[in-house]
Amino acid sequence: MNRSAKLIASCLFGVCLGNWSIAIGQEVTPRAWAANVIVPQCYRSSAASSQPLRVTNIQARVSILEQIATTTLSIQLKNTGPRRETAEFLLPVPDGAAIRGFTFQGVGDEPTAELLTKDAAKATFDSTVRRLKDPALLEFVGYNLVRTSVFPVEQNGEQQVQLTYEHLLKADGNRVDYELPRSQSVAYDTPWDVEVEIKSNRTINTVYSPSHQLETIKDGKKLRSIRLAENAKLDPGAFRLSYLLQRGAVTASLFSYPDADNAGGYFLLLAGTASEATASDKPLAKRELTLVIDRSGSMRGEKIEQAKSAALSVLD
């Protein structure tokens, strides 16, 4: 190895700005590797590493419109070393992903990003595993792969790298599924900041993640915004999200996992009734309510407190 041994860091990285160029589905011309190869979503402890580059911030913003997901990934790197470093990213992405933009801050060659299909991606992973002597990369064999151009990280400075890609989400009946690849390693020590916005012409019945705890930002009839809960940002594994589009009074979808060893298995039923937003579209009948409370001497003490509580429950 040269003085700048290779760095593998688990990461996500975001919003596309500025000028960029892309190569999609083309045969990739072999080129030299950067001094630091950063493989997103694959763990290597920064604390245990002697390398100068550190991942300091990770962000993912996902916009889903009628099954088209636009994933904007952002990563902040810090160079703690006394000299300028160069780096590049390898990023596993879902089938059918198309690059929409890649950029970095500062001076350098024009940013580019190559989309490698599964065969080319596997060859790249195999080559990287041999060079870096880290079999953890093989976890992502089978995915397509994005390889970015080389970018600089100045001495004692920071670099923000941004990438955006799109892909069509798979649907099973009324259920639509989204996945953001990430290693299963429990040793990952950089939190994810993930937000997802879902828009649909149909009513969104329910949103659920089987992998991570969610918090609701906006809960509308045809617009939902959610984010990863604070206590789930370090949870390992791919981030998975499913949502149901309403059809009829009850909408449901079934996940099954057979267990061949025990002649049984497991299942998850995701279901929801017609949303309150749909019911509120109906015209409301006007009504007038009169509350009569006895305030005579016999209602002193506990009785009057019970009457007040009953009145408040009616108003609520």
Please tell me the predicted confidence (pLDDT) of residue 212. Answer: 93
DSSP state of 222: S
Contact 95, 168 (CB under 8 A): no
Classified as helix, coil or strand, 13 is coil
Tell me whether strands 112-116 and 98-104 are parallel, antiparallel or unpaired. Answer: unpaired
Q: 239-285 pLDDT, tens per residue? A: 999 998 987 666 777 767 777 777 777 777 777 766 554 445 556 56
Provide the pLDDT for residue 313.
81
The token pair that represents 178 in the structure block: 């989204």
pLDDT tens per residue across span 139-164: 565 677 778 777 788 888 888 888 89
Rounded CA-CA distance 85/35 in Å is 7
* pTM score over 0.85: no
Q: What is the mean pLDDT of the chain?
A: 75
Helix or strand holding residue 14 (H, E):
none
How many other CB atoms sit within 10 Å of the CB of residue 212? Answer: 20
Q: Are strands 204-208 and 264-273 parallel, antiparallel or unpaired?
A: unpaired
CB contact at 8 A, 9 and 136: no
Instruction: Write out the H or E segment, with its range, that includes residue 153.
Output: strand 151-153
Q: Report whether 62 contacts 71 (CB < 8 A).
A: yes
Summarised one tens digit per residue, pLDDT across range 12-40 is 333 232 333 333 344 444 566 666 666 55
Residues 58/192, Cβ–Cβ less than 8 Å: yes
Q: What is the pLDDT of residues 63-82, one digit of tens each?
A: 999 999 999 989 888 888 89
Q: Nearest Cα to 198, choosing from 237, 232, 245, 249?
A: 245
Residue with the two structure tokens 């019911």: 279
For the chain, how far is it from start to end, CA to CA, in angstroms? 70
Pairing outcome for strands 204-208 and 239-245: antiparallel
Measuring CA to CA, which residue among 269, 206, 216, 210 is closest to residue 238? 210
Top-confidence range, 115-129, 162-176, 259-273: 162-176
